[in-house]
Amino acid sequence: MIEVKHVFKEFSGHLVLNDICTDFEPGKTNLTIGQSGSGKTVLLKCIAGLHSVSKGDILYDGRSFSNMDEKQRKEIRKEMGMVFQGGALFDSNTVEENVMFPLEMFTNMSFEERRERANFCLKRVNITNANDKYPSEISGGMQKRVAIARAIALNPKYLYCDEPNSGLDPVTSIVIDNLIKEITIEYNITTIVNTHDMNSVMEIGDKIIFIYKGRKFWQGDSSGIFDSGIKELDDFVFASSRMKQLQKMYISGK
C-alpha cells in the first residue's frame, strides 16, 4: 500500500502540488485524472522517487520513502515498474533486450532463463514475432505493450503508468487499459495510472483521484464521477457542450 501524506512540491517557487493526501491499495487500479499541467505527472514522479517532495511524505507499506537512505531506495525501486508516456524503451536495444534488461541487472538468471522470462512477459502483453525488432521499428501501441512487459519483468509490487494511452487510437487504448487491469489483479500490484482519457476512467478505474491546479479536488469510483457536484470535475468530465447535454440527460434520467 502507498500512502501520500500532505505532499507539497514546488519548482523555483512555483507550487505544483498543494497538500495532496491519499492512499493506493494493492490489487486495485488507481487513476489520477486532471487537465494537462494539473500536476499528475509530478505526483507520480514524486511517488516513484524521481522527484523529491518539498514537504510531506510518501509511505511504502508504512516505510517512509523520504527517510530512506540510497540503498533502501534502491531496494524499493526494484519493486517498481513504470510505463512512461512515450514508452521510454532503450533505442539501442531490441524489444527482447529491453525486457531482459532489468532481469540482467538485478537477477542471477542465466541468459536462457532471462530470455524465457522475457518471452513470457512479451506473450503476456500479446507481443509475438517482434523480439529482434528495435523500438523504432514497431508501432506506438506495441511500444507501450513492450514497456508494460519490461515493467512487469521483475514481478513488481507497484506499477506506475503515465498516460499509457496518449497517442493511441481508442481501440488500442482499451486493449492497453484492460491489460493493465488484468495484470494488476493477476499479480496483486498497486497500480497508479495517470490519464485524462474518460474511456480509461470508466473501463478500469477502481479508485479515481481528480487533481486540479495541484490540489486533490475529489476522489471516488467511476460510478460517482458523473454526479460529484464539483464544478471543476464536471468541467473536466463534460468538457464539450454535447457531453454537458448528456450529463443533463443522465441526471434527469436518474
Considering the rule CB under 8 A, would residue 56 count as an interface residue with other proteins? no
One-letter amino acid of 242: R
Considering the rule CB under 8 A, would residue 74 count as an interface residue with other proteins? yes
Query: Pick from 5, 15, 59, 78: which binds other proteins (CB under 8 A)?
Result: 78
- Shortest gap between Cβ of 70 and other proteins (angstroms)? 9
Considering the rule CB under 8 A, would residue 119 count as an interface residue with other proteins? no
Considering the rule CB under 8 A, would residue 164 count as an interface residue with other proteins? no
- Shortest gap between Cβ of 85 and other proteins (angstroms)? 7
Query: Pick from 84, 134, 187, 217: which binds other proteins (CB under 8 A)?
Result: 84
Considering the rule CB under 8 A, would residue 112 count as an interface residue with other proteins? no
Query: Pick from 19, 23, 101, 187: which binds other proteins (CB under 8 A)?
Result: 101
Spell out the SS3 assignment of 26-82: CCCEEEEECCCCCCHHHHHHHHHCCCCCCEEEEEECCEECCCCCHHHHHHHHCCEEE
Considering the rule CB under 8 A, would residue 106 count as an interface residue with other proteins? yes
One-letter amino acid of 145: R
Considering the rule CB under 8 A, would residue 77 count as an interface residue with other proteins? yes
- Shortest gap between Cβ of 42 and other proteins (angstroms)? 13
Considering the rule CB under 8 A, would residue 63 count as an interface residue with other proteins? no
Considering the rule CB under 8 A, would residue 140 count as an interface residue with other proteins? no
- Shortest gap between Cβ of 173 and other proteins (angstroms)? 20
Stretch 31-50: interaction string toward other proteins, x if CB under 8 A: --------------x--xxx
- Shortest gap between Cβ of 77 and other proteins (angstroms)? 4
CA atoms within 13 A on the CB side of 208: 25
What residues line the site for other proteins (CB under 8 A)?
45, 48-50, 73-75, 77-78, 80-82, 84-86, 88-91, 101-102, 104-106, 160
